[in-house]
């Protein structure tokens, strides 16, 4: 009962929802008006939310909002016209030299410094600053709405991941959402939500824990596999990119391709194995299953198994590892991190991430 009450208290108020909807409209209108040269129709850009704010996974203790500028009419040809360094130019190791090779087709809105200057046209935006990275972002605050925002341009990996999580939440709204809420509070209490290792040893992210929650519910038959039947490209070669592929990492000289297909609804006839399962039972079962205290098949075995919502929950490792090998692995390289792909080696096109245990 307390889990449900805590989750309900953390849900955004109607006023907060209205503020967020208003912010998305204001930003969309601003960016379309300030980009006339690469936006002749005046509606090329749409600002949307992703992350926990998009699927209801907040803890009620933060006003952090992740935003993405969705750019329409972005093609997927072999020579991607929006790469900072054109595809016929070899990316050299010296990044400072390769960055001099500018691509004239890249809209200004992809430049975080230009984007920051655009945002500063709004009086509601405060403390805007550009943060260059593989996924370049602009950080800013909207004090009167209580928001601290990160915004990126057309890096849609997080947006599609959020859509997948939302689809699972809509199948089991009163188990998965409060379950994730409770586990995120547990992370905070134990200071474990530090994947970058800024305050000490690196630990799992709340996103990692969210994928583990979905995988556990898949494992016990409480959620289906919305990626069952996905045809994952066997190569990251852009020439075989499908309509379900997107480009990631715009901050790199030449971007990455990822496959994002999933079903929006359960397969016909699917029913949960335990329709009466409660969030409290799910949380208790989650900790028991991943506790590493057991030695039979009813417990997760990190030496021989991985967590993979792509494959329906828990899968066998391709190459099992000995406990001594895991013990000697530096924490920053441990298996409690998101892996791109997991269905093949480095040449395989990434898809929705897996987690190894």
Residue at which a domain ends, from 109, 133, 157? 157
Are residues 14 and 151 located together in one domain of the fold? yes
Predicted confidence (pLDDT) per residue in 132-166, tens digit: 877 889 999 999 999 999 999 988 889 999 999 99
Top pLDDT among 123 and 260 is at 123
Q: Give 266's pLDDT tier (boundaries 50, 70, 90).
A: very high
pLDDT at 4 over 50: yes
pLDDT at 240 over 60: no
Residues near 274 by beta carbon (within 8 Å), at least 6 away in sequence: 220, 221, 222
Residue at which a domain ends, from 96, 123, 157? 157
Q: Give 333's pLDDT tier (boundaries 50, 70, 90).
A: very low
* Model pLDDT, residue 241: 54
Top pLDDT among 325 and 117 is at 117
pLDDT at 227 over 90: yes
User: Which of the residue ranges 1-10, 147-156, 346-355 would you say has the lowest mean pLDDT?
Assistant: 346-355
In a domain, 328, yes or no: yes
pLDDT at 222 over 80: yes
| Average pLDDT estimate for 280-309 | 88
CATH number of the domain bearing residue 118: 3.30.460.10
Are residues 139 and 207 located together in one domain of the fold? no
State the virtual CA torsion across 346, 348, 349, 355 in degrees, nearest 10: -70
d(CA 303, CA 127): 46
Please write down the HEC assignment for all residues of 314-327: EEECCCCCCHHHHH
Top pLDDT among 261 and 76 is at 261
Are residues 144 and 205 located together in one domain of the fold? no
pLDDT at 354 over 50: no
In a domain, 178, yes or no: yes
d(CA 115, CA 151): 9
* Model pLDDT, residue 331: 44
Pairing of strands 305-308, 147-153: unpaired
CATH number of the domain bearing residue 197: 1.10.1410
Are residues 193 and 282 located together in one domain of the fold? yes
Contact indicator for 355, 306 with CB cutoff of 8 Å:
yes
- The domain of 214 spans 173-356
Structural domains in the chain (count): 2
Are residues 141 and 247 located together in one domain of the fold? no
Q: Give 295's pLDDT tier (boundaries 50, 70, 90).
A: low
Q: Give 69's pLDDT tier (boundaries 50, 70, 90).
A: very high
Which pTM does this prediction carry?
0.81
Are residues 197 and 106 located together in one domain of the fold? no
* Model pLDDT, residue 93: 43
* Identity of the highest mean pLDDT range in 108-122, 240-254, 272-286, 338-352: 272-286
Are residues 103 and 70 located together in one domain of the fold? yes
The mean predicted confidence, pLDDT, of the chain is 78
């Amino acid at each position: 009962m307390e889990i449900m009450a805590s989750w309900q208290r953390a849900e955004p108020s109607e006023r907060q929802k209205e503020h967020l909807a208003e912010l998305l409209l204001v930003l969309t209108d601003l960016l379309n008006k300030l980009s006339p040269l690469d936006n002749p129709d005046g509606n090329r850009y749409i600002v949307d939310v992703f992350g926990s704010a998009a699927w209801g996974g907040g803890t009620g203790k933060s006003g952090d909002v992740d935003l993405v500028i969705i750019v329409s009419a972005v093609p997927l040809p072999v020579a991607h016209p929006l790469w900072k360094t054109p595809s016929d130019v070899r990316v050299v190791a010296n990044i400072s030299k390769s960055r001099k090779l500018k691509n004239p087709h890249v809209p200004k809105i992809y430049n975080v410094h230009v984007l920051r200057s655009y945002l500063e046209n709004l009086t509601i935006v405060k403390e805007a600053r550009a943060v260059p990275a593989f996924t370049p972002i602009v950080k800013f605050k909207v004090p009167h709405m209580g928001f601290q925002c990160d915004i990126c341009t057309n890096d849609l990996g997080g947006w599609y991941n959020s859509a997948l999580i939302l689809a699972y939440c809509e199948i089991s709204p009163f188990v998965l959402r409060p379950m994730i809420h409770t586990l995120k509070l547990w992370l905070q209490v134990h200071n474990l939500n530090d994947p970058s290792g800024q305050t000490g040893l690196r630990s799992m992210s709340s996103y990692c824990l969210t994928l583990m929650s979905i995988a556990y519910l898949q494992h016990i038959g409480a959620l289906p596999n919305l990626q069952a039947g996905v045809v994952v490209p066997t190569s990251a070669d852009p020439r075989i990119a499908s309509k379900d592929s997107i480009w990631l990492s715009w901050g790199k000289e030449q971007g990455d391709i990822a496959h994002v297909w999933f079903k929006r609804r359960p397969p016909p006839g699917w029913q949960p194995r335990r329709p009466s399962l409660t969030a409290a039972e799910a949380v208790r079962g989650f900790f028991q299953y991943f506790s590493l205290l057991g030695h039979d098949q009813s417990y997760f075995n990190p030496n021989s198994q991985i967590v993979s919502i792509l494959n329906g929950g828990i899968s066998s490792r391709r190459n099992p590892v000995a406990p001594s090998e895991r013990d000697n692995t530096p924490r920053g390289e441990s298996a409690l991190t998101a892996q791109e792909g997991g269905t093949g080696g480095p040449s395989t096109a990434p898809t929705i991430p897996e987690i190894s245990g």
